[in-house]
């Protein structure tokens, strides 16, 4: 362990020494790096699929859709726009700075740390790296130990593309993460749970390192009486069961009118069967992946069992096979609001459904919980939609769909408070890894000199003008 710690310090020093040189690279040099990374991703596409399948049996099509396409899309978008993003921005003067030339420049932060999760182990590691490289930084990466096959592939792929003094990967468990957090990084990007996010932020505070936290939370779905229930059920089930529910932006629970409960349950059940098969055949469906490990499987199993004991009603599924970490799509209505099912982020293929008589009841349930990463709304009533938006807080909002906002890299993505800090994707990711540096160049005419002491009548008159 001591050898690992010493190696981290050695590489950190190399990156510190190299960061100034990397930081002044031109847009074309950064684009060339991103092109090499893109080539590496496409060249290793089959290996990426195999590694992720080995970690939790995800289908190759789902890997293409959720792990590879978002990265390819973002790299190409950044290549197209990076030159304009890097240009200094002219800023108008205030009265007090007349005669000066003011602008904002985007300066790389320096040496950055990326700690990535296991649920989308390739995409959620390489995505922040793309933004960091575009902004001109050196990077340490700590991928998740829970997806070891993908972590190993990431290390090998990045070693082929980057020198270690620019991008370095350190595999390992929480000890490795703890050792990395002792180093004075210029920025830390963490994706994971709010619990570990708080620990990361506390460690970063020791060096006053800025952080980006992509966390989770219980992203709610509100369905109002005027929604298209066929459309809502189909989209919610799709978004819920991607990656067997192990998705930070998955719909976590549904709130709908009490008199529409059975209609929604019926349509959701039909959608599951249409997409994945019956309860007897789903285990053989190659499009339905497994839970990442036994610890997480047992956690979800306990949440389901507790919810049923406390009065929740099982409408579909509930089948759990420990031997191959299979957990069927599961629908449960009316779980206790005090149960773990309604207190913890589920991160599994379990959808709790709650009912309300008045929309205000649904809004109160959302407001009494930590602010979610995403709020999903299904309605055809614009007044209802505006009312929900005005009376809730969330990182992002999607109306009449789920999850797909993540695919638009022109939108900022990120949480609020307990669900995250900072925004990423596209230009927002470039700025997240950049320091917005104000630069003012004083001209020959210096308005400020009029206010140098000793203060006379002219200064007083000018102050009166400024304060009016």
- State the catalytic residues: 214, 248
Q: Quote the DSSP letter at residue 98.
A: T
CA distance 13 to 19: 10
Q: Is residue 445 exposed (0-12), middle (13-18) or buried (19+ Cβ within 10 Å)?
A: exposed
Number of H helices, E strands in the chain: 17, 18
CA distance 181 to 238: 37
- Kindly state the helix (H) or strand (E) to which residue 102 belongs, with its residue range: strand 101-108
Count the residues in the chain.
468
Q: Quote the DSSP letter at residue 65.
A: I
Q: How far, in whole angstroms, is CA 308 from its chain's centroid?
A: 31
Q: Quote the DSSP letter at residue 204.
A: H
CB 128 within 8 A of CB 119: no
Q: Is residue 389 exposed (0-12), middle (13-18) or buried (19+ Cβ within 10 Å)?
A: middle
Residue 15 makes CB contacts below 8 A (sequence gap 6+) with 111, 138, 139, 140, 165, 166, 168
Structure tokens at 47: 């290996």
Report helix, strand or coil for 47. helix
DSSP string, 313-335: EEEE---EEGGGTEE--EEEES-
Residue 178 makes CB contacts below 8 A (sequence gap 6+) with 203
Put the strands of the sheet holding 396-399 in their side by side order: 313-316, 330-333, 350-356, 253-257, 220-223, 374-378, 396-399
């Amino acid at each position: 362990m001591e050898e690992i710690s010493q190696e981290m310090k050695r590489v950190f020093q190399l990156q510190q020494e190299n960061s100034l040189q990397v930081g002044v690279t031109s847009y074309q040099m950064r684009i060339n790096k991103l092109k090499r990374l893109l080539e590496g991703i496409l060249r290793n596409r089959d290996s990426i699929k195999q590694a992720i399948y080995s970690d939790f049996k995800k289908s190759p099509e789902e890997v293409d859709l959720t792990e590879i396409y978002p990265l390819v899309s973002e790299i190409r978008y950044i290549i197209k726009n990076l030159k304009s993003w890097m240009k200094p921005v002219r800023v108008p003067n205030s009265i007090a700075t007349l005669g000066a030339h003011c602008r904002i420049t985007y300066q790389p932060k320096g040496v950055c740390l990326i700690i990535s999760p296991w649920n989308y182990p390739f995409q959620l590691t390489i995505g922040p790296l793309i933004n960091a490289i575009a902004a001109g930084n050196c990077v340490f990466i700590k991928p998740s130990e829970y997806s070891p096959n993908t972590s190993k592939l990431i290390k090998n792929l990045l070693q082929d593309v980057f020198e270690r003094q620019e991008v370095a990967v350190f595999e390992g468990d929480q000890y490795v993460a703890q050792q990395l957090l002792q180093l004075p990084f210029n920025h830390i990007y963490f994706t994971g749970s709010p619990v570990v996010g708080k620990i990361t932020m506390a460690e970063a505070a020791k060096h006053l390192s800025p952080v980006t936290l992509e966390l989770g939370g219980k992203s709610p779905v509100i369905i109002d009486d005027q929604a298209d229930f066929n459309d809502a059920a189909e989209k919610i089930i799709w978004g819920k069961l991607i990656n067997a529910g192990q998705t930070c932006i998955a719909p976590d629970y549904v709130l709908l009118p009490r008199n529409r409960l059975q209609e929604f349950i019926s349509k959701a059940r039909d959608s599951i069967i249409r997409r994945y098969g019956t309860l007897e055949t789903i285990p053989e469906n190659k499009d339905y992946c497994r839970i990442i490990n036994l610890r997480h499987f047992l956690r979800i199993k306990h949440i389901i069992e507790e919810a049923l004991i406390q009065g929740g009603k099982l409408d579909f599924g509930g089948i759990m096979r420990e031997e191959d970490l299979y957990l069927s799509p599961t629908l449960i209505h009316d779980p206790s609001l005090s149960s773990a099912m309604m207190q913890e982020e589920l991160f599994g293929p379990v959808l709790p459904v709650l009912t309300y008589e008045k929309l205000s009841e649904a809004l109160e349930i959302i407001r009494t919980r930590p602010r979610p990463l995403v709020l999903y709304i299904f309605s055809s009533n614009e007044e209802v939609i505006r009312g929900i938006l005005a009376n809730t807080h969330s990182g992002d909002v999607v109306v009449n769909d789920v999850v797909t906002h993540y695919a638009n890299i022109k939108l900022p993505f990120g949480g609020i408070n307990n669900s995250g800090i900072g925004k990423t994707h596209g230009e927002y990711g470039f700025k997240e890894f950049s320091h917005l540096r104000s630069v003012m160049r004083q001209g020959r005419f210096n308005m400020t000199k009029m206010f140098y002491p000793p203060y006379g009548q002219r200064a007083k008159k000018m102050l009166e003008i400024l304060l009016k």
